[in-house]
Amino acid sequence: MATKKLAKELGLLRKRSRPSNENHEERIHCRQLFSYLIVIDFESTCWRDKNNYGQEIIEFPAVLLNTANGKIDSEFHTYVQPQEHPILSKFCTELTGIQQAQVEAGVPLQICLSQFTRWIQTMQQEKNIVFIKEKEYAPTGHLCAFVTWSDWDLGVCLQYECKRKQVCKPDILNSWIDLRATYKLFYHRNRKDLMGPYRILELNFLDGSIQVWMMPAIRHI
């Protein structure tokens, strides 16, 4: 699923009538733990047949979602050059829509992570964003968290690729919210993809305001 689409669906609400109180948006924002969410959804090398190849990130997208209004305030995107298996499989191209020319015009993972870190630093300066740390619950600034659908993106794909290539993984990417696990706990349903919860709950945006229904279950590695 495209990162923009995933980000939008993080802020979906149950349908209801338009609120008449002009302070409705402010009250919703006050109940939210996170002022911002950074949604990440990698694409990686893949093959039709199961094998022992390590997957490499080939597309690194992230969006900064403002939970006060449901809008995307900033985006980061780059294609990444696979170096262990530089030629994309036909299956990978068909599944992801990513072409060989796009990854060849991309950057190595190490440079990608450096560019991403600079983007994060810019957002921290411009919007006073802070990330929650383990055993720290009183930050000064606008609290922000990374969000993925399952632990695969940050806990598996990036983690093991960095180890294989001896690339330093930014510390801020060691904590995230697993939306799939949170959904399962909160709604007592188990879905592998995000479209299932979207259809089941019949969610929709409410007048530009959003209420994030994720519980703050932060994963640490």
Instruction: Assign residue 204 the CATH number of its domain.
Output: 3.30.420.10
Minimum mean pLDDT among 55-64, 94-103, 115-124, 134-143: which range? Answer: 134-143
pLDDT value of residue 24? 44
pLDDT value of residue 213? 41
DSSP state of 154: I
Residue whose pair of structure tokens reads 């190595």 in the numeric block = 108
Q: Is 19 a member of any domain?
A: no
Q: Which of 60, 58, 88 is nearest to 75 (CA)?
A: 60
Q: Is 18 a member of any domain?
A: no
**CA distances for 140 relative to 124, 130, 148, angstroms:** 12, 7, 24
Q: Is 176 a member of any domain?
A: yes
What span, in angstroms and rounded, lies between the C-alpha atoms of 17 and 207? 10
Q: Is 129 a member of any domain?
A: yes
Q: Is 82 a member of any domain?
A: yes
- Structural domain including 165 reads 3-12+24-220
Higher pLDDT, 179 or 99: 99
pLDDT value of residue 18? 42
Segment 54-80 mean pLDDT? 96
DSSP state of 184: H
Supply the pTM of this predicted model: 0.76
Q: Is 97 a member of any domain?
A: yes
What span, in angstroms and rounded, lies between the C-alpha atoms of 105 and 82? 11
Mean of all residue pLDDT scores within the chain: 79
Query: Does pLDDT of 146 surpass 50?
Result: yes
Query: Does pLDDT of 173 surpass 90?
Result: yes
Minimum mean pLDDT among 9-13, 58-62, 99-103: which range? Answer: 9-13
Higher pLDDT, 79 or 137: 79
Query: Does pLDDT of 207 surpass 60?
Result: no
What span, in angstroms and rounded, lies between the C-alpha atoms of 130 and 145? 9
Query: Does pLDDT of 209 surpass 50?
Result: no
pLDDT value of residue 219? 62
Say how many domains are in the chain: 1
Query: Does pLDDT of 14 surpass 80?
Result: no
pLDDT value of residue 7? 56
Q: Is 17 a member of any domain?
A: no
DSSP state of 44: E
Residues with Cβ within 8 Å of 105's Cβ and at least 6 positions away in sequence, in order, are 79
End-to-end CA distance of the chain: 25
What span, in angstroms and rounded, lies between the C-alpha atoms of 116 and 150? 21
Residues with Cβ within 8 Å of 164's Cβ and at least 6 positions away in sequence, in order, are 54, 84
* Highest-confidence segment of 2-16, 35-49, 133-147, 177-191: 35-49
pLDDT value of residue 33? 85
Q: Is 157 a member of any domain?
A: yes
